Homo-oligomer: A and B are copies of this chain.
Amino acid sequence: MEQLVGRCTLKDVAHLAGVSVTSASMALADNPRVSATTKEAVRVAAMKLGYVPHSAGRALRSRRVSAIAVVLPHSSQHVFSHPTLTALLDGIVSVAADNDLSTILSTSRTEEDEASAYRRFMNGREADGVIVASAAVADANVIGLARSGYPIVIVGRAPHVARATAVSLDDGHGGQAATRHLLEAHGVRRIAHISGPLGHQSAQDKLTGYRNALMASAIAPEPALEIEGDYSDESGSRAVEDLVRRGTSFEAIFAANDQMALGAREALQAMGLSVPGDVLLVGYDDIPLARYVEPALTSVQGDMAEVGSVAALRLLELIGGRLPDQPVTLLPTELVVRNSCGCARHLA
């Protein structure tokens, strides 16, 4: 079987199969109007020539480019820790590939860059739809896009965008589980929360979960115990320093991601406070690092690859003109208990 590589168009295939270009096209599309004999002849010819349809030719006529775009956070430092991001991409790309779609990656440094990327995807028809993994709560680009009718799926909850299709971990539940564990398994009452940037819904949701858990234990949330970070380890350290400087007492910390938890731990150690001896600590994301540090970090885990897969599937529905019957999907999170929350003390 010779595999001729190089330029070869549908015309060549049709010629070799002895049929018209129309029939060749329809045969390859498995159109029922074409006879089985013709289909077979065309398939053989295409195989012989190593025919691959020219994507631009197809796209121009059929108004479908067979590509989806993924827009990632501006800096890719915040919002997603890197392992989370690669897992998400993994999920998206594998579903896309299974459906013969290309995945276009876009990261923008500024909001204007992002706006121009969106225009290329949508108005320039570079992608049939877009998955946005960078949405701040009030991102004008995203809101405009959603309004235009262009297929878009948001990774993260997006209650502010009307009728948006969104896929997210259930961060409200995750935040609540982390806090409840500290309350119930370890009996502490003064739990500080280092939140993510509150312009992001995920940060809001974890904070709400934290507060709900406190209130379920009849503890009033206390503003002095809530500090806003930016998901960086430095901001975790700063949060601890602030708490101590202001004289706010606390027995435990729940941080909205593992990086800030590790930053907090460093600051505590620098002050001579041990984890979990003096302060209990729980993080979020369950990055690989979590199980390697000493003490191993208790954290909230979720399947980001699954988030990516589901987001891609929803986008396919939208592109196909179907409105997902479940516009918002929340995937479960699970608390992974290790030593930093104090559980080892009980076991030992």
Q: Is A5 an interface residue (CB 8 A)?
A: yes
Known: A82-B83, A292-B262. A102 touches B126 (CB 8 A): yes
* Contact assessment for B52 and A119 in the assembled complex, using a CB-CB cutoff below 8 Å: yes
Residue of B nearest to A144 (CB): B5
For chain A, which range describes its interface: under 10, 10 to 19, 20 to 34, or 35 or more residues? Answer: 35 or more
CB-contact partner of A289 in B109, B148, B288, under 8 A? B288
Known: A76-B90, A82-B83, A106-B93. A55 touches B293 (CB 8 A): no
| B-binding segment of A57-65, A199-207, A246-254, A330-338 | A57-65
**Which residues on the B side are within 8 Å of A108 (C-beta)?**
97
Q: Is A294 an interface residue (CB 8 A)?
A: yes
Residue of B nearest to A120 (CB): B52
* Contact assessment for B97 and A86 in the assembled complex, using a CB-CB cutoff below 8 Å: no
A215-234 near B? 1/0 per residue, CB < 8 Å: 00000000000000000000
**Which residues on the B side are within 8 Å of A51 (C-beta)?**
123
Complex: A41 Cα to B83 Cα, angstroms:
49
CB-contact partner of A94 in B7, B54, B107, under 8 A? B107
CB-contact partner of A293 in B76, B102, B119, B292, under 8 A? B292
Complex: A140 Cα to B125 Cα, angstroms:
34
* Contact assessment for A65 and B76 in the assembled complex, using a CB-CB cutoff below 8 Å: no
Nearest CB on B from A83, distance (A): 5
Nearest CB on B from A265, distance (A): 9
Considering the complex, which residues of chain A in the window 68-99 have a beta carbon less than 8 Å from any beta carbon of chain B?
70, 76, 82-83, 85-86, 89-90, 93-94, 97
Known: A90-B107, A104-B104, A123-B8. A60 touches B56 (CB 8 A): yes
Q: Is A124 an interface residue (CB 8 A)?
A: yes
Nearest CB on B from A54, distance (A): 5
What residues make up the interface of A, taking CB atoms closer than 8 Å to B?
A: 5-8, 50-57, 59-60, 65, 67, 70, 76, 82-83, 85-86, 89-90, 93-94, 97, 102-109, 113, 117, 119-120, 122-126, 144, 148, 262, 288-289, 292-294
**Given pairs A56-B65, A82-B86, A102-B126, 11 additional interface contacts (CB within 8 A):** A52-B120, A52-B124, A54-B124, A55-B56, A55-B65, A67-B104, A76-B90, A82-B288, A90-B107, A104-B104, A293-B293
